[in-house]
C-alpha cells in the first residue's frame, strides 16, 4: 500500500468501536453518510449520521444548545496531510470539528482488500474498562 494506491474518494460503510470486553458500539448507528478522500493535496474525512435532525428552535447560531450539541455528536470532520508507510496511514490533522485534534496525528492500521479500505486505531483508553479499537470501513468510489 502507498499514497497512489489509496488516492481517491472512499465512501464510509461502517464505524465500530470494538471493546476489550466484547462490546461492539456503533458511535453514529448503522446508517452513515460520508467519505474519506486522499489526494496530492492531503486528506479529508467527513462522517455523519444519515437523516440528521434539523434545528427546530432556530438557525445554526440561534438554535438551542441541546440541538447544537446533537448536531456536533452526529457529525465528524477533519482534514490535513497524510503519509503511508507499510500498513500504517498517518493523518496530520490541520482542521477538525474537534479542537483537541488540531495539530495532532491519527495513526491508522490500514488494510486494503480490493475496493474496501479498513482503518483501525491503536488501542484507545488501554488499561481501562473502556479499552477499545475504532474500526472504520470505506468502499472506493468509482
Angstrom distance (rounded) from CA 111 to CA 81? 19
Range of the domain at 78: 3-140
CATH number, domain of 22, equals: 2.40.128.280
pLDDT, residue 58, reads 92
Cβ–Cβ under 8 Å, residues 141 and 34: no
- Mean per-residue pLDDT, 81-88: 97
Residue 37: CB partners within 8 Å, gap ≥ 6? 8, 9, 10, 43, 44, 45
Total count of domains within the chain: 1
> Taking 90 as the threshold, does the pLDDT of residue 105 lie above it?
yes
pLDDT in tens, 13-57: 999 999 999 999 999 999 999 999 999 999 999 999 999 999 999
pLDDT at 125: 84
pLDDT digits (tens, 9 = 90+) for 67-77: 999 999 999 99
Measure CA 129 to chain center.
23
Question: How confident is the model at residue 87, as a pLDDT?
Answer: 96
Q: What is the pTM of this model?
A: 0.90
CA 32 to chain centre: 11
Q: How far is CA 74 from CA 4, 42, 46, 47, 91, in A?
A: 31, 24, 11, 8, 21
Q: What is the mean pLDDT of residues 115-127?
A: 90
> Which sign does the torsion angle of CA 125, 129, 130, 134 carry?
positive
Amino acid at each position: 500500500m502507498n499514497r497512489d494506491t489509496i488516492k481517491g474518494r472512499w465512501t464510509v460503510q461502517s464505524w465500530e468501536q470494538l471493546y476489550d470486553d466484547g462490546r461492539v458500539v456503533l458511535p453514529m448507528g448503522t446508517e452513515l453518510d460520508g467519505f474519506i478522500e486522499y489526494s496530492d493535496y492531503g486528506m479529508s474525512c467527513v462522517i455523519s449520521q444519515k437523516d440528521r435532525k434539523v434545528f427546530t428552535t432556530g438557525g445554526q447560531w440561534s438554535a438551542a444548545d441541546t440541538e447544537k450539541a446533537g448536531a456536533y455528536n452526529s457529525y465528524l470532520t477533519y482534514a490535513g496531510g497524510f503519509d503511508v508507510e507499510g500498513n500504517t496511514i498517518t493523518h496530520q490533522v490541520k482542521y477538525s470539528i474537534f479542537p483537541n485534534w488540531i495539530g495532532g496525528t491519527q495513526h491508522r492500521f490500514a488494510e486494503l482488500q480490493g475496493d474496501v479500505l479498513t482503518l483501525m486505531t491503536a488501542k484507545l483508553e488501554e488499561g481501562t474498562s473502556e479499552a477499545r479499537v475504532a474500526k472504520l470501513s470505506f468502499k472506493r468510489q468509482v
